[in-house]
Structures are given as structure tokens and as C-alpha cells.
Structure 1
Amino acid sequence: MTEQNNAEYYTRRAREERDKAANCAEASVALIHNQMAEQYERRAAELAGPASGEPDL
């Protein structure tokens, strides 16, 4: 898998976890889904590299 494919995968998984959290009746389970989404979003951002316009240090 390429880094681009990995980033897309993590982005998709984050979106799925956010959807699950939004549709979850149990607050404690929704919190876990949101935490998982944050982890996926971090991984996707790491693979994407620095945002455009920011210097690469």
C-alpha cells in the first residue's frame, strides 16, 4: 500500500468512526468512537506531511 492509499484509508476510517459516534445511543461508546477517529485522523495527517505553505523543518 502506498502512503497516499494509507492516508485515504485512515481518513475514511476516521469518517466512519465519527458517523458511528454520531449515531451511538450510549455516550461512553460514542466517546470511544470519537477517540478512535482522532487516532485515525492523526495517522492520516502524519502521512500527508506538512500542510502546504508551511516550511518543511
Structure 2
Amino acid sequence: MLYFNILASAKGFEGSVLTNNSRGIRNAWHLWYALVLVIKVVFSGFGIALLTP
């Protein structure tokens, strides 16, 4: 992904499909990791609540 961004900026592909696709991929990965983090925090909170008397 970084290679595509460097390639796009080096050749001056302003607004090209390549940069738009790499931006979409970056946003999708960011969303995925954010959702995983939220799920981990929620379930760890439930785990701590279940372990406390």
C-alpha cells in the first residue's frame, strides 16, 4: 500500500484510480482494526465483570 502511494505521488497521479483505491483500502483496514479494538474492550470488560464477585 505504501508503495502505491509513493508511486502515485512520484508520477503525479492526482485523483487517479490508484490513489483512490489505496485510500479505500487504508480506510477499510482502519475500520476493521477499530472494530476489533472495540470488541476486545467490550468483551474484556464483561470478563472482568464476571470474575469479580
Q: Which has the higher helix share?
A: 2
TM score, norm. by length of structure 1? 0.44
